[in-house]
Amino acid sequence: MSDASQLPPPVLAVDNLRVAYGARVAVGGVSFRIDRGEIFGLLGPNGAGKTSTLSAIEGLVKPKSGRSLIDGIDTVQHPLEAKARLGVQLQSSSFQAELSIEQIAKLYAGLYGVHLSREQIDASMRTIGLDAELGKRFKQLSGGQQQRMALYIATIHEPLLLLLDEPTAGLDPQSRRALWQRIEQARGAGRSILLTTHSMEEAQAVCDRVAIIDHGALLTTGTPAELIEKHKDDPRVLEVAHGPVTLEDVFIGLTGSEIRD
């Protein structure tokens, strides 16, 4: 059984993906792979092309060229089969404003074709610490509660791959830790996760591997420790380091000190 064709395909294979809005190239041909049970972080400053990369994988924008395969399934040629394996948390989540948390859970379960009993919803809401908020509307929740709810909704149909766009942006440290724990639990349940962040701390705390992206191109890929080892003698990195080289030094060294708004 050493034949390579017997191996399962990677959970996500992105090959030379290009995204453009009119003449503006947002993603200029990126390639990477995510294996089973892996948390992969796409790190990049504002405007680097993170959301555009995710949008192309999700089928929200049509790539100009290249392709992405989820569990070996081409997302453009077989969008329904690919999406059935995908759970998505967009950069800013908003659900139907007038519905309660419980109604939202039921609505999305129904959309995914999953039956959830009252007991199952209660148990899930207890797990994510929202059992006291069942009657509240989404917009009445705190930022951390909203992100936990959005992550729960993204996993209702037990997808193989989760795409989380800046899942912890704007959260306080306690909420951020709670969400990291939820993301690690999702990995423990056999899912793979692609998340975007500009937090080096987050990349080091939860990501098995990361890629640094800027101006629509991947600059480097590896474990956080590998990236430090690989780039610690780069003069651009040494110039910005204060003492032993950190992942943030590598990030700033490779993407430059210019401020992006």
Ligand X SMILES: Nc1ncnc2c1ncn2[C@@H]1O[C@H](COP(=O)(O)OP(=O)(O)O)[C@@H](O)[C@H]1O
Query: Residue 85 is encoded by which pair of tokens?
Result: 């394996």
Alpha carbon distance 69, 91 (integer Å): 22
Which DSSP letter does residue 100 get? B
CA distances from 224 to 31, 36, 110, 254 (A): 18, 19, 39, 14
Q: Is 55 in the site for Mg ion (CB under 5 A)?
A: no
> Using CB under 6 A, which of 10, 30, 38, 49 touches ligand X?
49
Does 203 bind ligand X (CB under 6 A)? Our answer is no
User: Between residues 154 and 213, which has the closer beta carbon with respect to ligand X?
Assistant: 213
49 touches, from ligand X, Mg ion, none (C-beta below 5 to 8 Å by class): ligand X
**Contact (Cβ atoms closer than 8 angstroms) between residue 20 and residue 64:** yes
Assess 145 for contact with Mg ion (CB under 5 A).
no
Window of 10-18, 46-54, 107-115, 148-156 that interacts with ligand X by CB under 6 A:
46-54
**Is 86 among the residues that bind ligand X (CB under 6 A)?**
no
Radius of gyration of the chain (CA): 19
C-alpha span between 18 and 27 (Å, rounded): 5
Q: By CB under 5 A, is residue 89 in contact with Mg ion?
A: no
Measured CA to CA, the distance from residue 75 to residue 226 in angstroms comes to 31
Nearer to ligand X, 26 or 109 (CB): 26
Q: Applying CB under 6 A, which part among 3-11, 18-26, 77-85, 237-245 lies near ligand X?
A: 18-26
> Would you tell me how many other CB atoms lie within 10 Å of the CB of residue 115?
8
| Contact call for residues 221 and 211 (beta carbons, < 8 A) | yes
Kindly tell me which residue out of 52, 68, 146, 192 binds ligand X, with binding defined by CB under 6 A. 52
Q: Does residue 30 interact with ligand X by CB under 6 A?
A: no
Does position 51 interact with Mg ion (CB under 5 A)? The reply is yes
Q: Which residues are near ligand X by CB under 6 A?
A: 21, 24, 26, 44, 46-52
